[in-house]
Every structure is written in structure tokens, then in C-alpha cells.
């Protein structure tokens, strides 16, 4: 499964890179939620590989939803064929392919591939995390005031009461700096590799976090809900950090709950 996940991520990444910058067909799933023909082609490539090699496995992918075996299948693949679609559609080179695999509801394998930098992040539960086959660890930065943080905003930002703008404001005042790159999977991998010290985001889907959250945990980081409770991929909010600043981040997030 690991070999196939890596193969699928690399082949899909090559497809993304080959089509970057050319005129592509773009449609909307919502006011600002895009899907391109390349998303669909990437997803079709990945799901075809999975169902060919593992026909009894289930697949949950961002664009086409659930497919493959019945919902009760022992193994399920969680696929984001292009995380960072808006970036991609504008030619901004911050996007990736994200593939997670769960067994009986627990994610045990995660692969994230960034084709623009040829960076492959891999984690197996209990086996650590790597970037291009080299072990990675979260940063040792503390306190929060010295930390570089990253986040994202929901596509429904113009329609929802909870938009993350209040948290962005608060962390901008309490951290060293905050970035917004537009790919949750890459954000999590950057926490895992020590490029960022902490990440938070809301309105996430299972395919956004399945691989990245495992990679952070296997790199020695901490992943929870905003209140510090147990995180799972069905949770729409995710807080990930190097562990050293986690409690401070929880405290900042709690300011808006009181």
C-alpha cells in the first residue's frame, strides 16, 4: 500500500506539473470553491490505481466522494488529488497531492507530494516521518511569541459566522508571524518538518488532514481539536504544533469561546 500510495502521488503530481500554467477549464462548487479539469484527471488517475490493485478497498476522494468497496471495508483511502486548487488555477506554485490510508477507522499511512519542489512526505504509524527519505522532526521553538504560524480560511468565509478571521487577528498579535499559503496538507507537513511551528484551521474535510495529521504526529508533533481534545479526521477543526507551544495556542483559541 505504501508503494502504491507513493506511486499514485508521484504520477498525479507529474500530471499537475505538466498542466500548470496552461489554460484549463475551471468550474465552481461554491462562490469561491473551485474545481478544475486537472483535479478530476488527477483523482481519476489515483482512484484507478487504487481500485485496480486493491479492489476490496474503499476510497473517499474530494471531487467524486465515496467509491470502491462498501462502507464497511477494512481499508479506506482518503484522497485529495489537488490540495490548493485556487493556487493552482492562478499559477501560484503552492499545491500538492495528499493520500491517507486508514484501517478500521484509524489512519496508519500518509503520503503528501509537492511536485513543484519534488518533496515527498511519508509517514507510517509507529514508524516516524520522512521528507525525501530523510527523517524529519518538528521544531523546538518556544514560546508562542517566537513562533511562525500558518492557517487557512474556509471557502464559505463570506457566508459563515465563524470565518477564522478573529483567530488570525489574535495569533498575529501573539505569535512572531502568521502565513496563509492555501494548502492544509502542505501546512501540516511544514509543521512536521519544522518550517512552521504551529497550524490551526477550521471547516476541514477528512482528505485535507488524513495524511498531514499523521505526518505531524510521527514527526513528534501534537494534533488535537481547538480545545485540546482528541483529533480525528472527521473533526472539522485541527490544531497542530511542535508540542511546545500547544497549550499557548489552545489559550489563544479559547479567547473567542468565552
CATH at 189: 3.40.190.80
Residue 170 class from Cβ within 10 Å (0-12 exposed, 13-18 middle, 19+ buried)?
Answer: middle
| CA pair distance 87, 200, nearest whole angstrom | 19
User: What pLDDT digit, counting tens, does each position of 55-105 carry?
Assistant: 999 999 987 777 666 567 999 999 999 999 999 999 999 999 999 999 999
**Same domain, residue pair 7 and 123:** yes
pLDDT of residue 32: 45
Mean pLDDT for each 10-residue chunk of the chain (258 residues)? Answer: 98 96 64 72 96 95 72 90 93 97 97 98 98 98 98 76 88 98 97 98 96 98 97 95 98 84
**Same domain, residue pair 34 and 94:** yes
**Same domain, residue pair 93 and 42:** yes
pLDDT of residue 54: 96
**Same domain, residue pair 169 and 241:** yes
Question: Which CATH number does the domain housing residue 55 bear?
Answer: 3.30.540.10
**Same domain, residue pair 166 and 214:** yes
**Same domain, residue pair 101 and 191:** no
**Same domain, residue pair 160 and 122:** no
The last residue of one of the domains, among 76, 104, 135, is: 135
Predicted model pTM: 0.93
β-strands 75-83, 119-124: how paired? unpaired
User: What pLDDT digit, counting tens, does each position of 6-19 carry?
Assistant: 999 999 999 999 99
**Same domain, residue pair 158 and 222:** yes
**Same domain, residue pair 106 and 196:** no
**Same domain, residue pair 105 and 161:** no
Q: Which of 149, 160, 158, 24 is nearest to 86 (CA)?
A: 24
DSSP assignment of 61-123, as one string?
ETTTEEEES-TT-SEEEEEEEEETHHHHHTT-S--EEEEEEEETTEEEEEEEEETTTTEEEEE
The last residue of one of the domains, among 117, 135, 153, is: 135
The last residue of one of the domains, among 85, 110, 135, is: 135
**Same domain, residue pair 179 and 123:** no
Number of domains in the chain: 2
pLDDT of residue 15: 97
Residues whose CB falls within 8 Å of the CB of residue 177, separated by 6 or more in sequence, listed in order: 148, 149
β-strands 222-224, 119-124: how paired? unpaired
**Same domain, residue pair 120 and 6:** yes
Domain residue limits at 129: 2-135
Amino acid at each position: 500500500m505504501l508503494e502504491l500510495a507513493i506511486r499514485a502521488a508521484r504520477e498525479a503530481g507529474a500530471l499537475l506539473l505538466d498542466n500548470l500554467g496552461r489554460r484549463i477549464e475551471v468550474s465552481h462548487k461554491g462562490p469561491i470553491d473551485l474545481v478544475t479539469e486537472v483535479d478530476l484527471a488527477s483523482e481519476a488517475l489515483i482512484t484507478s490505481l487504487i481500485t485496480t490493485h486493491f479492489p476490496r478497498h474503499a476510497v473517499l476522494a474530494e471531487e467524486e466522494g465515496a467509491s470502491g468497496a462498501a462502507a464497511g471495508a477494512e481499508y479506506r483511502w482518503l484522497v485529495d488529488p489537488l490540495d490548493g486548487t485556487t493556487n493552482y488555477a492562478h499559477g501560484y506554485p503552492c499545491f500538492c497531492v495528499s493520500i491517507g490510508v486508514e484501517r478500521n477507522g484509524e489512519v496508519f499511512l500518509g503520503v503528501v507530494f509537492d511536485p513543484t519542489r519534488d518533496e515527498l512526505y511519508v509517514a507510517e504509524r509507529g514508524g516516524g516521518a520522512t521528507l525525501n527519505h530523510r527523517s524529519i522532526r518538528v521544531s523546538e521553538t518556544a514560546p508562542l511569541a517566537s513562533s511562525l504560524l500558518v492557517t487557512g480560511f474556509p471557502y464559505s468565509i463570506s457566508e459563515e459566522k465563524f470565518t477564522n478571521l478573529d483567530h488570525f487577528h489574535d495569533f498575529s498579535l501573539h505569535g512572531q508571524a502568521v502565513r496563509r499559503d492555501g494548502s492544509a496538507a502542505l501546512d501540516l507537513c511544514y509543521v512536521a518538518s519544522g518550517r512552521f511551528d504551529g497550524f490551526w484551521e477550521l471547516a476541514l474535510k477528512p482528505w485535507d488532514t488524513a495524511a498531514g495529521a499523521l505526518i505531524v504526529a510521527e514527526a513528534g508533533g501534537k494534533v488535537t481539536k481547538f480545545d485540546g481534545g482528541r483529533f480525528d479526521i472527521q473533526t472539522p477543526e485541527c490544531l497542530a504544533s511542535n508540542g511546545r507551544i500547544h497549550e499557548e495556542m489552545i489559550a489563544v483559541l479559547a479567547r473567542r469561546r468565552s
